[in-house]
Structure 1
């Protein structure tokens, strides 16, 4: 089980990457082929990668960072993670293929000498992170003793909090000598490594995961994380499972895909393990599903999070009429605590979220203002996580699609984009 490994992050590699988190996202579970994905008609998908591109091209650098090195990642792994498209490339048919092969390059040095294998590991630490929602990938994994494919997440505060305090959610891990079994696990302070909390899912009828694509997913809310394979739920974890230890799944996490070789948990490949081995990813999608902590109902209160997991904030915590509303790192301050009122208002610091001048034009800034019952202060919060101003029939929007600290909020024609999606509570 995943509980047998100590950690899987690279201190020198990942900590330097966790500087910026960008978007929130959505998806619908489907077990069809890439050609059938469109028929699923996912709503409000705000981050995804379908790996469309020419054969041999590297993964999109606007979405993925490719890690490099042969440190063993704290698990005595035997591979060197290479840059570019050497071991991670599109196949031209809508897939990303991560290939583990025997190494013939003497220049690749690992913790134990010249590396025996090469492979790839990708993350979204610089480009995307999200708190809560539905996280899903459709993957065909490799087979054979000593291979270790994974789809997982780490907290975006890894650089400051360190592991395991930042948290880890393993959506799918497989060790090659268990061809029909995958594992889902959480790691946090006091329950990491061998103490990680997880469960296994076994395919029926003796089938192997390497024989076909399967959909691996988690649904994550403020109070629970639930794992599924092909839509079959097999595990749920809540704070009650921790025996008083800290639940650290309350902030954005970023995504990781990798194919390791060897290590303390899977052991080394043996004479029956053939190379190259491939991990083929059809897509990755993320959603701000209703399990992420919001519905269209009134009475919700708490932080209002948008693109990049950033909080809606009253600038300077001022209560002066006309104070700008912005995105800001979440601090838990009163200036970031909002209530969806039964009267249609959205309130903080005793005043209302207001469209300046009652304007209906795209780009009109929103502000804090004394509540007056006008349509400029009437909002509808939808099941799709739009916050729509009644007077303008337009959506609350982060200017320019930015997730930067201090980004001003405005109204804009509703487009279903990431910078118009909000989670309350």
Structure 2
């Protein structure tokens, strides 16, 4: 809102409904304020970096439940009020709610079902900022705009990434239009981003319309590898939408049915040395079953899910695990019951390493096409027996 893989994607990449890790369904009585355990308010009328015309309040006149399972953010034209904006006495009030200090998320699928308002000068948004905003400032913190609309463009919504060197009018912006020139404000739509360590996609009603990766920043920092918090707001005026005009009717409301965060998995075979695949020994499903490299065969013992949000790599509902929580060369790798320990936290890096702390996942034998060789930890050295690629689909995997 402020203008401020390694891996090969399969051609049949899909998205499934899956494990919800955080949500607000906005259940409650009519006139109730948003849940204070989940939301706080930005308050004021200083323009918010965009020359906006509204004063954001914490009043239920501007943000309240409707008693039907929705949160309603309402922009109102005010007369004889005591709110003061950057340009003088404010003409409008609205609300901007956020999860800063309440909850934040790193990777996953973030979606909301929203009916947006209409009218020139009206600017609804569903977006995220890096939770290091107060330490590093904008745009170094990063910004993910899941949905923005300006009232003079009723048939378009925008998804944008902002970061250092690609912010404001130079943000990485893409646009989606409904078929048959339908206006977005006529009905509810589901707005979503699917976010991994190396890609961010935007979709509307399940139609993915763009995916951005670090390559799109052209060498500038990809600042989307840490926690972000969620924001909803309804702005009035600003440099992008312009001010309301005689055709704009007030009040205008942004109606939010729900917001949900799903744990996002990347699923598929992990291919390494000699085009062979990481394999669970004899398809064993007990804890402490060893892991090896073997001819790729499409079996369940080679079907892995990488969870970016908790760093686990899973097969048979078990986690890839460093034996005896070891942190040294020659430590054997296995699958074991998931326990949240650091010995089960991995990262697939853009250079193709699978790392655990300062060590890399490695095939013990380095000869070409050696079948059934075990896997271990070893200091990262860039050798071929430490290089991996995920033949992946992006999915929300059921827990």
Both structures adopt the same fold (TM-score exceeding 0.5)? yes
Corresponding residue number in structure 1 for 2:76: 101
1:204 maps onto 2:179 in alignment: yes
Query: Which residue, 236, 248, 260 being the options, matches 2:223?
Result: 248
Residues 292 and 78 of structure 1, relative CA distance in 2, 3 Å threshold: farther
**Does structure 1 conserve the Cα–Cα contact (< 8 Å) formed by 2:265 and 2:307?**
no
* Mapping of residues 45-124 of structure 1, within 5 Å: 45-124=20-99
1:397 is displaced (CA, Å) by 8.5
User: For the Cα contact (< 8 Å) 1:132–1:292, is it kept in 2?
Assistant: no
Distance 2:279 2:46 in 1: 49
Aligned pair partner of 2:264 in 286, 289, 295: 289
For 1:179 and 1:54, the matched residues in 2 are separated by 31
Over 3 Å counting, the alpha-carbon distance change for 1:46 and 1:164 in structure 2 is same
Alpha-carbon spacing, 1:378–1:236, altered in 2? closer, same or farther (3 Å) = closer
2 CA distance for matches of 1:294 and 1:98?
Answer: 45
- Name the CA distance, whole Å, in 1 between partners of 2:192 and 2:98: 17
Q: Which residue does the alignment assign to 1:165?
A: 140
Matching residue of 2:357? none
Q: 1:6 aligns with which of 3, 7, 31?
A: 3
Q: How does 1:18-417 map to 2 (within 5 A)?
A: 42-291=17-266, 306=310, 346-347=321-322, 352-353=324-325, 379-380=335-336, 388-389=337-338, 395-396=339-340
SS of structure 1 residue aligned to 2:233: strand
Work out whether residues 132 and 291 of structure 1, in 8 Å CA contact, stay in contact via their aligned partners in 2.
no
Q: Any idea what SS the aligned residue of 1:205 has?
A: helix
**Does the CA-based 8 Å contact 2:197-2:308 persist in structure 1?**
no
* Distance (Å, rounded) in 2 between the aligned partners of 1:94 and 1:294: 41
**Alpha-carbon separation, structure 2, partners of 1:248 and 1:293:** 26
Aligned residues: 304
Q: TM-score, normalised by structure 1?
A: 0.64
Q: CA deviation at 1:240?
A: 0.7
Task: Name the structure where strand makes up a greater proportion of residues.
Answer: 2
Q: Which has the higher helix share?
A: 1
Tell which structure's C-alpha radius of gyration is larger: 2
Q: Is the 8 A contact 2:18 2:263 kept in 1?
A: no
- 1:369 offset after TM fit, Å? 11
Q: How far apart, CA to CA, are the structure 2 residues paired with 1:105 and 1:145?
A: 23
Question: Aligned-pair distance for 1:254?
Answer: 0.6
Separation in structure 2 between the aligned mates of residue 371 and residue 345 of structure 1, nearest angstrom: 16
**Gap change, CA 1:90 and 1:339, over 3 Å in 2:** closer
- TM-score w.r.t. the length of structure 2 is 0.68
Q: Distance in 1 between matches of 2:231 and 2:140?
A: 18
Q: Retained in 2: the 8 A contact 1:70–1:110?
A: yes
How many Å apart are 1:107 and its aligned residue? 1.3
Deviation of residue 86 (structure 1)? Answer: 2.5
Provide Cα deviations, 1:381-403, integer angstroms capped at 9, x if missing partner.
Answer: xxxxxxx35xxxxx5499xxxxx
Change (3 A) 1:106 1:202: same
